[in-house]
Amino acid sequence: MAPDLSTTFTGVRFQNPFLLSSAPPTESESNIVRAFEAGWGGVVTKTIGLHPVVNVLGPKTKFLRADADSAHLSMKKRPGAALHSSWNWELISDKTLDWWVPRLGRIKQAFPNHALVASIMAGSGNDTELRHWQELAVACQDQGCDALELNLSCPHMDRPDMGSNVGKDKELVSIVTKVVKEVARIPVWAKLTPSTTDIVVEARGAFLGGADAIVSSNTFTSLPLIDMETLDFEVHVDGLVSTGGLGGPAILPLSLAKMSQLTQAFPDKSFSGIGGISTFEHALNYFLLGCGTIQVCTAAMLDHAVGPNVIRELNQGLARFLEKHADKGWTSVADFVGLRRDHVVAQSKIRRADEKDYRGGYEAEGYAEPVTT
């Protein structure tokens, strides 16, 4: 009998723990329908706002590739190069709430057993704007969405009270989460930015506001490289570029470090892991660190736009893994979530050669005691 891949996360049942993250793969009704038909357990919609956004001219996403036989990195397509990362400066959905509302309802009616999560974003600078968050939340849940994901992490918003600028401010994170929780009848997930010193601080803010889960990571703030021949950035409009977001294989270890901080600080809370996942081997890292679900963007974009081969491999990989460990009594993801969470420790806790001791640079090594106030 094939293993049961289903799982329950923040009270929502998923046929499998694999979701498409909020991005181009989930920007339209037809993509989401194709994604569910391909086998994704859930999707998070491209982030929905109240007002129309206008994107830059030209490509919004490019893929950086590495040569196998040299250190050359470039976005130029060439044979034999391996994917290093995605780089994007795409804003939230260019379709507004009114466009999304009937589509969310239709999708949910057609796929009642698939999880539909609405990603939402508004400004946060005053009470009127905070009410926009509530308007978005209510409209999406009224269409039957299973959960809400708060975009507190888009790295390319100019406004100080939007996207990752909210995610960098623990008070704003808390306030926005609380405001949405006031009207939400469905779970609320907070998607945080990795661009802070200690993501645990902002996660605490989200949990204080009542968040049911933390989602991490959104893309990492970055620039495209400069072309040696033209001296222009590999992505630019009229020679100009702004910072954008890095995703894909390059961010897998970075995002895992963020996730490890989060799950250690809040071992009893729920986490959805994103960043650089294209196979079950990658996803397993997030599960073992304490994530109950994982999400995929870059790998799906490069696989027929919604990742039919990616989700097939993820489902098969999980099924094989459960079969392999059946002797341990593992029957679902929940049986191995967090198993390696406590294996990430301070450097001084790692055994040294010849039983020598190291105290992490404290007085035993001749340094002064740290100042305590």
Ligand X SMILES: Cc1cc2nc3c(=O)[nH]c(=O)nc-3n(C[C@H](O)[C@H](O)[C@H](O)COP(=O)(O)O)c2cc1C
Residue 65 binds ligand X, judged by CB under 6 A? no
Mask 330-369, x = binds ligand X (CB under 6 A)? ----------------------------------------
Residue 296 binds ligand X, judged by CB under 6 A? yes
Provide the token pair at 192. Answer: 């945080």
Which listed residue (5, 17, 24, 280) binds ligand X by CB under 6 A? Answer: 24
How far CA 251 is from CA of 53, 67, 83, 218, in Å, comes to 27, 18, 12, 10
- Which is closer to ligand X, CB of 19 or CB of 322? 19
Q: Residue 58: which residues within 8 A CB-CB, separation 6 or more?
A: 235, 237
Q: Choose one: 178-186, 258-266, 290-298, 355-363; the region binding ligand X (CB under 6 A).
A: 290-298
Helix (H, G, I), strand (E, B) or coil at 73: strand
- Which is closer to ligand X, CB of 55 or CB of 316? 55
Which listed residue (275, 290, 292, 307) binds ligand X by CB under 6 A? Answer: 275
Which listed residue (260, 263, 298, 315) binds ligand X by CB under 6 A? Answer: 298
Residue 23 binds ligand X, judged by CB under 6 A? yes
Helix (H, G, I), strand (E, B) or coil at 319: helix
Q: Choose one: 88-96, 133-141, 197-205, 222-230; the region binding ligand X (CB under 6 A).
A: 88-96
The phi, psi pair for 116, rounded to 5°, reads -115, 115
Compute the residue count for the chain: 373
Angle between helix 127-142 and 170-183 (nearest 10) = 50
Please enumerate, as own/partner, the contacts of 231-234 that have beta carbons within 8 Å and a separation of 24 or more: 234/62, 234/64, 234/74, 234/75, 234/76
Residue 244 binds ligand X, judged by CB under 6 A? no
Which listed residue (28, 141, 151, 164) binds ligand X by CB under 6 A? Answer: 151
Which listed residue (164, 218, 270, 293) binds ligand X by CB under 6 A? Answer: 218
Which listed residue (61, 193, 260, 263) binds ligand X by CB under 6 A? Answer: 61
Mask 174-193, x = binds ligand X (CB under 6 A)? -----------------x--
Residue 92 binds ligand X, judged by CB under 6 A? yes
Closest to 249 measured CA to CA, from 287, 219, 225, 284:
219
Tell me the DSSP string of 161-194. Answer: TSTHHHHT-HHHHHHHHHHHHHH-SS-EEEEE-S
User: Active-site residue numbers?
Assistant: 154
Preceding peptide of 217 cis, ω within 30°: yes
Applying CB under 6 A, which residues contact ligand X? 21-24, 46-47, 60-61, 86, 88, 90, 92, 119, 151, 153-154, 191, 218-219, 247-248, 251, 274-277, 296-299
